[in-house]
Amino acid sequence: GLSPRRLAEIGPVAARLARAEGFEAHARAVEIRLKDKV
C-alpha cells in the first residue's frame, strides 16, 4: 500500500488517469481514500 503522504502526492493524478482510462470506480476509490485522510 501507499503511505498517507505518498497517496496525497500521487492520488489526484492516479484518479485522473484512472478516469481517463475508463476506470471510474478506481478513480472514486482513490478520491475516497484521499478524503478520508483529511
d(CA 6, CA 24): 21
Mind giving me the DSSP string for 1-38? ---HHHHHHHHHHHHHHHHHTT-HHHHHHHHHHHHHH-
Residues present in the chain in total: 38
Residue 2 pLDDT: 87
pTM as predicted = 0.83
d(CA 17, CA 28): 12
Residue 38 pLDDT: 62
pLDDT digit string (tens) for the chain, length 38 residues: 889 999 999 999 999 999 999 999 999 999 999 998 76
